[in-house]
């Protein structure tokens, strides 16, 4: 039986890519799409697939009125100011959820986890769905055990609203867990220009770059006296995220509560 999928944010760049990926998956069926900016349009035509007969709804409530939508999996790639309400509404309606939008607070993520557990539903949230990015984070965390210092440079397109990226934050968290300690910092360090040294999470400096022409890129630079190690991942096209999105859709029915990070699916199976 095909996995029924609703795509929220279907008119955005990631949403259109998800529509193409779901339509191309033999074990999935696109049953509804949501995007108030493109309400009434055909989801397939927006994604460059031609007419599919799946109209874009202006709200999730409208999408749930479509045949086959109830009990489906919601895939949400909307804005940080919309995703929390979307996920909570989906759980209330009995939907499993996969989402990638970052910028939610720990409190909001905790509320999502509680709401999902109360209903026996699964939610998978990954700051990055690219398999290579997940490996980059894992390799960086392993290497950080042996290096005195580490800094993160993340680069994204100029339409990304949150900084630093969720991938950078997740990387710093994994480094902290792997080390069991903070990075060292020189007390004598002085910023002549405030912000020049970037933000800091548990002693790990994070630098954010936003420029047109970029998609999603991150490098982790680790240092010891006389040597450095750089681990870098580049997503050159949004298609790089789709294998991870499809994996999450297939796995979300097997979990209860919030699962944070694609590595939980790749390495803890």
The residues annotated with a catalytic role in the active site are 156, 160
Q: Which of 152, 126, 86, 141 is nearest to 240 (CA)?
A: 126
Cα–Cα distance measured from residue 60 to residue 107, given in angstroms and rounded to the nearest whole number: 23
User: What are the two backbone dihedrals, phi and then psi, of residue 251, each rounded to the nearest 5 degrees?
Assistant: -95, -15
């Amino acid at each position: 039986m095909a996995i029924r999928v609703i795509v929220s944010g279907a008119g955005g760049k990631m949403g259109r890519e998800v529509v193409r990926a779901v339509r191309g998956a033999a074990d999935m069926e696109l049953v509804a799409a949501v995007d108030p900016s493109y309400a009434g349009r055909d989801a397939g035509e927006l994604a460059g697939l031609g007419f599919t007969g799946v109209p874009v709804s202006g709200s999730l409530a409208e999408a749930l009125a479509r045949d086959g939508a109830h009990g489906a999996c919601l895939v949400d790639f909307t804005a940080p100011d919309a995703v929390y309400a979307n996920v909570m509404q989906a759980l209330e309606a009995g939907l499993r959820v996969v989402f990638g939008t970052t910028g939610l607070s720990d409190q909001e993520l905790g509320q999502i986890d509680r709401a999902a557990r109360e209903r026996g539903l699964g939610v998978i949230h990954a700051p990055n769905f690219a398999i290579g990015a997940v490996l980059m984070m894992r390799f960086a965390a392993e290497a950080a055990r042996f290096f005195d210092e580490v800094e993160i440079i993340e680069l994204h397109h100029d339409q990304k609203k949150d900084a630093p990226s969720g991938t950078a934050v997740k990387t710093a968290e994994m480094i902290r867990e792997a080390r069991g300690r903070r990075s060292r910092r020189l007390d004598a360090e002085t910023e002549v220009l405030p912000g020049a040294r970037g933000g800091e999470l548990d002693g790990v400096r994070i630098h954010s770059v936003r420029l047109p022409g970029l998609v999603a890129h991150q490098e982790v630079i680790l240092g010891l006296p006389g040597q450095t190690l750089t681990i870098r991942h580049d997503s050159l096209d949004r298609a790089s995220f789709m294998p991870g999105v499809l994996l999450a859709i297939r796995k979300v029915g097997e979990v209860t509560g919030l699962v944070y990070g694609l590595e939980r699916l790749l390495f803890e199976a």
